[in-house]
Amino acid sequence: MRRKLIQHGLSSLTVSLPKKWADANNLKKGEEIEVSESGANIIISAKKHYEHRKIELDISNAKPMIKRIVASAFKSGYDEIIIRFSSFDELKTVQELSREQFSGFQIIEQAKDRIILKNVSENNFEEFPNVLRRFFLVLNQVAEEFSQAAEKNDFRWMKNIALMKTESDKFADYCRRAINMSGDLGFKRTAPLYTLIEQLEKAVDRYSELCNYASDEKLSVNNELKSLVKEISEFEMKVYECFYKFDLKKIAELGKIKEGLQKRLDKLYLKSSKKEIKFISLLDRILNLIFDVNGPLMAVYI
């Protein structure tokens, strides 16, 4: 659809809006619309009244999927979540989840067999770019600190690093809720960001699992593995840099680096002990989760 620009006054240009679109959004003379800039594009959207959404969930005997079920409602954009439960452990899980991950939500009612979580803050996602960067930085910190802890075989430090998963989960859930609820978040395309965030959150989860495993097993990391841990940390940093300074040449470089790291991991499988094989397996999954971000990353920008 092409439209001509009309001179309006000395310094303004105007353009007419399609009547069909205006009618569909109940827009009339004098009403306000949202206009935002995105590079060479201007995005015009109808300013709609926000509708409060609520959902009721029954998590009775749903372990171990309770956290995933409740979190899905938060990420989907519901403002009120009524949860029915059948045990103390189920209630405790919901309380911990709301306290640690659900930004802006509070428990407004708790009864014998149900609890109600409600959003008590405005659905304002202007902080999305900042929160997304902070989410990336948590992964950067986890990767870098694990490399340092592995270098020193510091098992106590590894346990502390594993706890960063909670902070990562909170940022990831906020970002996914924003993507589901807001149209303009400052990126050319937002849908691929959802997959990107999912991948990076899983990478943090695997790092947390790796920290706990190495610490619990008192696994002294050999020099060859230490080198791989450090290089995978550096590889993750390159992905982060590529996201914020997108360049197809950097994407090609990531592919070459990943191939080399994968070959070295594959060789290690053949000569390692049983304890080391699980360590290598988790490291392998981290490498591939981070590398697979390349698809949604390119889809955001190209």
Q: Which domains does the chain have, with CATH numbers?
A: 6-46 (2.10.260), 54-119 (3.30.110), 128-301 (1.20.58.220)
* Secondary structure of the chain as H, E, C letters: CCCCCEEECCCEEECCCCHHHHHHCCCCCCCCEEEEEECCEEEEEECCCCCCCEEEEECCCCCCCHHHHHHHHHHHCCCEEEEECCCHHHHHHHHHHHHHCCCCEEEEEECCCEEEEEECCCCCCCCHHHHHHHHHHHHHHHHHHHHHHHHHCCHHHHHHHHCCHHHHHHHHHHHHHHHHHCCCCCCCCCHHHHHHHHHHHHHHHHHHHHHHHHHHCCCCCCHHHHHHHHHHHHHHHHHHHHHHCCCHHHHHHHHHHHHHHHHHHHHHHCCCCHHHHHHHHHHHHHHHHHHCCHHHHHHHHC
The model carries a pTM of 0.79
Each residue's pLDDT expressed in tens, for the chain with a length of 302 residues: 778 888 877 677 888 888 887 877 777 777 777 776 655 677 777 655 456 889 999 999 999 999 999 999 999 989 999 999 999 999 999 999 988 888 888 999 999 999 999 988 877 788 899 999 999 999 999 999 999 999 999 999 999 999 999 999 999 999 999 998 876 788 888 899 999 999 999 999 999 999 999 999 999 999 999 999 999 999 999 999 999 999 999 999 999 999 999 999 999 999 999 999 999 999 999 999 999 999 999 999 99
The pLDDT of residue 126? 82
